[in-house]
Amino acid sequence: MHRNALMKLIAGAFAAVIGSPVYAQTPVKFALNYQVNEAHIAYWVALEKGYYKAKGLDVEIEYSKGSGDAIAKADTGRVDVALADAMAVVPALARGAKIKIIGMVMDKSPLNIFVWDDSPIKAPKDLEGKTLAAPPGDAQRVLFKAFAETVGVDSNKVSWLNVDPAAKVPALVGKRVDGVGTYYTDLPMFEKGMGKGKVRSMRWSDFNFDPYSISIVANDKTIQAKPEMLKAFLEASYMGWRDALANMEEGLTIFKKQVPELDLPVARAAMPMVFDLLQSKRYEEHGIGWIDREKICRTVDLVNTNMELPRKPTCEEVYTSALLPVVKPTTAH
Amino acid sequence: MLFAGIIIGWWILVTAFPIPEYILPSPGAVIAASFGKDIPWLMHALVTTTEIIGGFLIAVVVGVLLGTLIAWSPTLERALIPFLVFVNTLPKVAVAPLFLLWFGYGIIPNTMIAALIGFFPIVINTAVGLSQTSQDMIDLGRIFGATDWRMFRKIRIPEALPYILSALKVSVSTCVIGAIVAEFIASQRGLGYVIINAQTTLNTPTAFAALLWISVIGLIAYGAVSVLGRWLAPWAEGDRTAGTTL
């Protein structure tokens, strides 16, 4: 009797260990494109709610020093999947990286220029003769010539100051430049330094200039060898976005718990702007992260035209929709 | 020999392994980029060199002055040293955006950041050097009735020169770093500007080429300080047992 009970105990323990999710989890390294910001909320939500775990993924999130750094990590296999600006993917491919965009994040463009509210810059034409600041790799900087052509501005009459991302706000606060090129979602950060109501935006999407921006990338080897892992990762991530879009406060609570150094008031102020960039008819119809072929090809053309690259990658090289899941937002646009 | 070995090893590495150029370019690609026509190298190098020289000169004047004050007065030493250590340990990458806010951008603020990084070794070594004067020489000066100022000029400073000259060599190298850090934060010209721009398109050969030119400028600056030291104080440069606290 005792021996039977002991055997059952041993068998039960053995089954528990073998069946334990710990042994079924695939490790996945995921690089964000930068230090944590509001546009990363979904991945922490997915982590906290166990969406990655439920799909057998043990996801470890790490930071990067920009899209170029994140792309290099994915290309060399140091991470399995990364966030990167779509416009950084094109030059990377031109220089030999073997990566692809496997899903989008924002469907609408966050491209923008901030100025003081009392600035004489009230329309794009007023940018001529002025000095703007942005890190050299920022989308606003790279695509400014194309934007200028769209709105009838002579881009040669606009000067640019290279700044580190950390210097963007001081550059405008101190009125060292006339405007700063940065994502529209940075508004709360600028208002923190300049005062509420003191910042005026020039959103490029208001002028029908609307290329793709943040995307999810993986290298070609991983796409070939682990498509199911990537599909699962995308699905869990977009489920995180779905939940964050549906319940912002819950998402912020999770975000703050996972990332204690998060500036919650700034994040709370910026989040509706981030969400606005994901709320579109396209995503409602096709699912979050869906890649519109015409838009991605237009984005690739813009980069090829405006950056000096050793070769011009084709649209087909840049992305694949083969791994996209269908996770639709629960809140309508 | 060491340089040659490193370059050969580097060439073997990129030839033997399929390393993408944007991760590690070949030595040939870097040399080609260094003399390429796409980048106005001379203009950018002149801007960075101006910041380095300006920062170094400020560091020398401020460093020697503060070091002298510290050596002169124990009260000043107690007052200044903690503050100077505090300033020196501030991460300059974090301070540089504040310089943009306070002073704007361009050669002058970048020169100030270079000076901020370069002055500390000079302060410390000047103070130590001036305090290390041999007692025999001080006694000799007193026997001949030398005033404090005369003893300072004729005995203390010459005896402190090995320490000061060592610090100058360290300082000129750190001024190079300071100028580049400043250009990373805010610039429209300079070799740091070239690096940041090149990195955005993953143009690593050009970024490496800028690093090469920065190293050349650093080597020339170091060599110039060494030559100046031998000319100003040949006895100090010849005494290899004397002074560095670094």
Rounded to a whole number, what is the distance in Å from the CA of A60 to chain B's nearest CA? Answer: 24
User: Cα–Cα distance between A33 and A37 in angstroms, integer?
Assistant: 10
Count of domains for chain B: 1
Mean pLDDT (chain B) is 88
User: According to the model, what pLDDT value does residue B190 have?
Assistant: 95
Q: Do B193 and A142 touch (CB under 8 A)?
A: no
Taking the CA of residue B239 and the nearest CA in chain A, the distance in Å comes to 45
Percentage, residues of chain B above pLDDT 90: 49
Which chain B residues are closer than 8 Å to A309 by Cβ?
A: 201
Of the candidates A95, A159, A167, the beta carbon closest to that of B186 is on: A167
Q: Does B131 touch chain A (CB under 8 A)?
A: no
Mean pLDDT computed over B147-166? 86
For residue B98, give the nearest of A95, A160, A170 by CB distance.
A170
Give the list of residues 6+ apart from residue A107 with CB closer than 8 angstroms, or none. Answer: A277, A278, A279, A280, A282, A283, A290
Interface touch B193/A162, C-beta < 8 Å: yes
β-partners of residue A180 are A114, A133
Both structure tokens of A138: 């920022």
Write out pLDDT tens, residues B122-148.
Answer: 999 999 898 888 888 888 888 888 888
Whether B102 and chain A come into contact, CB under 8 Å, resolves to yes
pLDDT at A190 over 70: yes
Q: Mention every residue, 6+ apart, whose C-beta is less than 8 A from residue B14.
A: B24, B25, B26, B27
Where residue A214 falls among pLDDT bands split at 50, 70, 90? very high
ipTM of the complex: 0.71
pLDDT, tens digit, for every residue of A120-137?
Answer: 999 999 999 999 999 887
Residue B238 has pLDDT above 60, yes or no: no
| Residue A141: pLDDT band with limits 50, 70, 90 | confident
pLDDT-wise least confident of A53-67, A181-195, B73-87, B182-196: B73-87
Of B102, B187, B199, the CB nearest to A68: B199
Q: In this predicted structure, what is the pLDDT of residue B72?
A: 83
| Minimum-distance CB partner of B21 among A96, A164, A174 | A96
pLDDT in tens, A251-268: 999 999 999 989 999 899
Summarised one tens digit per residue, pLDDT across range B184-227 is 988 999 999 999 888 877 789 999 999 999 999 999 999 999 99
- b/e map B121-160, b = 16+ CB within 10 Å: bbbbbbbbbbebbeeeeeeebeeeebeeeebbeebbbebb
**Whether pLDDT at B245 is above 50:** no
Residue B19 lies in a domain: no
Predicted pLDDT of residue B182: 92
- Is B63 contained in some domain? yes
Residue from the list B100, B200, B203 with its beta carbon closest to the beta carbon of A167: B100
Residues in chain B: 246
Asked if the structure places residue B118 within a domain, the reply is yes
Contact yes or no for A137 and B199 at CB 8 A: yes
Model confidence at A2, in pLDDT bands (50, 70, 90)? low
**What CATH number is attached to the domain comprising B57?**
1.10.3720.10
Asked if A167 and B202 come within 8 Å (Cβ–Cβ), the reply is: no
Q: B104: exposed, middle or buried (C-beta count within 10 Å: 0-12, 13-18, 19+)?
A: middle
- The pLDDT score that the predictor gives to residue A9 is 58
B226 and chain A in contact, CB less than 8 A: no
For an interface test with B, the pick among A75, A95, A308 (most B C-beta atoms closer than 10 Å) comes out as: A95
Please tell me the predicted confidence (pLDDT) of residue A23. Answer: 45
Domains contained in chain A, CATH given:
22-107+212-318 (3.40.190.10), 112-207 (3.40.190.10)
Q: Give the residue, B219 or B19, on which the prediction is more confident.
A: B219
Answer yes or no: is B143 within a domain: yes
The domain containing residue B185 runs over which residues?
A: 41-238
Q: Which residue has the tokens 């020489």?
A: B137
| Other beta carbons within 10 Å of B183 | 30
